[in-house]
A and B are shown apart, each in its own frame.
Chain A
Amino acid sequence: MLHYILRRLLYFIPTLIAIYTLAFLLMHAAPGSPFAQEKDLPPEVLAAREAEYHLDQPLWKQYLLYARDLASLRGHTSMRYEDRNVIHDILAPALPVSLALGVLALGLAVVVGTAAGVASAARPRSALDYLAMAGAMIGISQPSFVIASLLMAVFAFSLRWLPVGGWGSPGQMVLPALALGALPAAYIARLVRTGMLEVLSADFIRTARAKGLAEWRVLLDHALPTAWLPVLGYLGPAAAAIFTGSFVVEKIFAIPGVGQHFIDSALHRDHPLILATVLLYAALLVVFNLAVDVGYAWLDPRIRYE
């Protein structure tokens, strides 16, 4: 197991190098220069600014210089906000916000999705089942920005139960987490329902019922652990969906997270910030996927990583 984790950690390196290289090449393949928007810059100033961001160097040197800044976590100043370091002043304060939102949304998706899946499988073809699955259908078939805006329109504008946006108080976290967790929750509900229905017809469930266990114990203690395994496999894609969804949700609810910075940096050709944000997302995703795989092996004794 330790061997497996170490080998996976080794794969981090080519993954991060690949995404860094792709982002770097894309950034430079696009026509135009980062300073093209500031037209009336005197040539000397322009040259000085380009030198500051290594734009006067050959491409391979720029590639290595930015790689060094990022690998040493020293960072570089942003092109747009010249007094701010991309790692220490921009991403470091935004990361906890995005992480908190992501963890909340994922937790909510797992809890709500599992509960809905178990409830529908416990009484298939009941009103509750149809209600839960109709909810899951909406979660799967609407883009997250539509769900987010509708939640906002109902709970913030009409009912005035929750604040419209911002970040900090628990009330401000409810709607964004709901909007972000809706799609994974819908998938998890469907996975759990299918898994439960399959497991509930197994012999060991009949045995559990025959020995007189309460129905809730049959469902939760005996059926759910087996039925839940496919959900573990889905957690990796779910995390990716939450990452990408966070761009939209952070924008709608005006949350000061990493997502905003990524879109802004791309729009403004802020080279240091683009590279730092892309690498940050890649690292988070890779670490999370490893955690999911390790958890999988830990929970399912049939899986053995050599």
Chain B
Amino acid sequence: MSDRQAIPPPTCPFAVARPALSPLRLAMRRFRRNRLALAGLVILAAVAAASLAGAAWDRIEAAAGRPQPYRTPLPGAHPQSPSLYHPFGTDTLGRDMLARTLVGGGVSLGVGLAAAVISIIIGTFWGVTSGYAGRGFDTVMMRIVDVLYGLPYILLVILLLVLFAEQTTAVRMVVLFMAIGAVSWLTMARVVRGQVLALRESEFVQAARAVGAGPGRIIRREVLPNLAGTILVCATLTVPLAILQESFLSFLGLGVPPPLASWGTLASDAIEALNPVQTYWWLLVFPCTFLGVTLLGLNFVGDGLRDAFDPRAR
């Protein structure tokens, strides 16, 4: 018995040498071949790492009982142009611009991420419910989105921020994050609903329904995994818009409260210090370069993901 050879499993005569790849694998492979998108990813990783390093530096200084560099004015005349000790120079109040740019990066990226997360949660829920429930439900939910789409949202955000201007920093930060997130879920809801409408009628969902799967299981096992690409693309393209929104609000004096900074508030402070006689170029150039490079990276990655998940959309 023991010397009997194991019977090889039956092989399909048409089997391909390679196992079939899942759509996600295929998309990732297409993404990896896109040089611009990979460059965007590298840029984003570098900016995120720099911002984290800035936050860590700040924490270390605070824990050691030393003044935090982003909020502490240095002695002497200011602003100073970039030097060995202050590679990005100092601002008009004498604070180190390197520290401020890095801390600002954390805030700007945070605003973008918060907007993406909020839009994923609300937008996906809204879109899936509307698309899957169909009929009257769908009509009502999408009419609400249509009406909200027609609103000049930014007016409400401005109103909200102005009205909460006298609250504490924490409250204002929460209001700012929520407000920017609240404006960004509508597109997600529309895109997701469109996809769900198509998926609902697809053969594999009908098959699942035929073997008795309930709506909850179908949504979790069949619909959501197929939405992942769409959601990812839409969320990635939400982030740069949210970061720009924040900088726009900063210019109106409604961004993150001082002494905290974001790239938007830094750029807006630099514009304020801009005058025909003296150019403090370093105040503008460093935050705007970080902002621009990050937004480009996000756009490259977003476009790359879109091409990877939907090659026909090119």
A interface vs B, CB < 8 Å? 11, 14-15, 18-19, 22-23, 26-27, 29-32, 137-138, 140-146, 149, 153, 157, 194, 198, 240, 243-245, 247-248, 251-252, 262-263, 266-267, 269, 274, 277-278, 281-282, 285-286, 289
Tell me if A's interface is mostly helix, strand, loop or mixed.
Answer: helix
A26 touches B160 (CB 8 A): yes
Contact A14 B152 (CB under 8 A): no
Contact: A143 with B150, CB < 8 Å? no
- Interface residue tally on B, bucketed by range: 35 or more
Contact A281 B155 (CB under 8 A): yes
The answer to whether B164 has its CB under 8 Å from any CB of chain A is: yes
Q: How far is the CB of A188 from chain B (nearest CB, A)?
A: 15
Q: In the docked arrangement, what's the CA distance between A202 and B157, Å?
A: 45
Q: Tell whether B106 is near chain A: CB-to-CB under 8 Å.
A: no
A29-B163, A157-B276 given as contacts; is B244 within 8 A of A143 (CB)?
yes
Which B141-158 residues have a C-beta within 8 angstroms of A?
A: 143, 146-148, 150-152, 154-156, 158
Q: Does B292 sit within 8 A of A, measured CB to CB?
A: yes
B147's contact among A14, A30, A251, A269, by CB below 8 Å, is which?
A14
Hey, which chain A residues are within 8 Å of B276, CB to CB?
153, 157
Query: In the bound complex, do residue A289 and residue B150 qualify as a contact, i.e. CB atoms below 8 Å apart?
Result: yes
Residues 166-188 of chain B, each 1 if its beta carbon lies under 8 Å from chain A, else 0:
10000000000000000000000
In the docked arrangement, what's the CA distance between A14 and B231, Å? 29
CB-CB under 8 A from A149, the residues of chain B are 271, 274
Please judge, given known A-B contacts A281-B152, A282-B152, whether A153 and B267 are in contact too, CB under 8 Å. Answer: no
* Contact B291 A143, beta carbon cutoff 8 Å: yes
Contact with A along B222-252 (1 / 0, CB 8 A): 0000000000000000001000100110011
In the complex, whether B124 has a CB less than 8 A from a CB of chain A is: no
Given A142-B288, A143-B291, A18–B158 Cβ distance below 8 Å? no
**Which A residues are CB-close (under 8 A) to B51?**
none
Give the residues in chain A near B158, CB-CB below 8 Å.
247, 262-263, 266
Give, as a whole number of angstroms, the nearest-CB distance from A285 to chain B.
5
Give residues of chain B (197-234) contacting chain A, Cβ–Cβ below 8 Å: none
Can you name the residue of chain A whose Cβ is closest to the Cβ of B288? A146
Instruction: Find out whether the CB atom of A145 lies under 8 angstroms from the CB atom of B271.
Output: yes
Contacting residues, chain B, for A138 (C-beta < 8 A):
292
